[in-house]
Amino acid sequence: LQPGDLDIQPLKFEHTFFCKTCGNIASTRSCPHTSEHHLVLSGTRVREMLRAGTLPPPEFTRPEVAQILIEAMRAA
């Protein structure tokens, strides 16, 4: 493929996290707080939690959604 063949524009974005002080999802560009205020979970860590039957923090996902994911992973 040559540049432009797919007629799409890649979007680059920063890693995001939940800031306990801001009370919402943020990035280093939008949040003035240091890392001890941030809740960061990798996809790998979340999958490990779900496989173990552990609910991720509610700041990351709603408990009812996490429960559905736990059941789906157990069935797989």
User: Does 8 reside within a domain?
Assistant: no
User: Could you give the CA distance from residue 74 to residue 52 in angstroms, rounded to a whole number?
Assistant: 9
User: Could you give the CA distance from residue 10 to residue 15 in angstroms, rounded to a whole number?
Assistant: 16
For the chain, which ranges sit under pLDDT 50?
none
pLDDT at site 21: 97
Which range of residues forms the domain containing residue 38?
16-75
The model's pTM is: 0.69
pLDDT at site 8: 87
Token pair for 43: 């996809």
- The structural domain count of the chain equals 1
User: Does 22 reside within a domain?
Assistant: yes
pLDDT at site 29: 92
User: Does 44 reside within a domain?
Assistant: yes
User: Does 71 reside within a domain?
Assistant: yes
Distances 52 to 24, 46, 55, 60 between C-alpha atoms, Å: 26, 10, 9, 17
pLDDT at site 14: 83
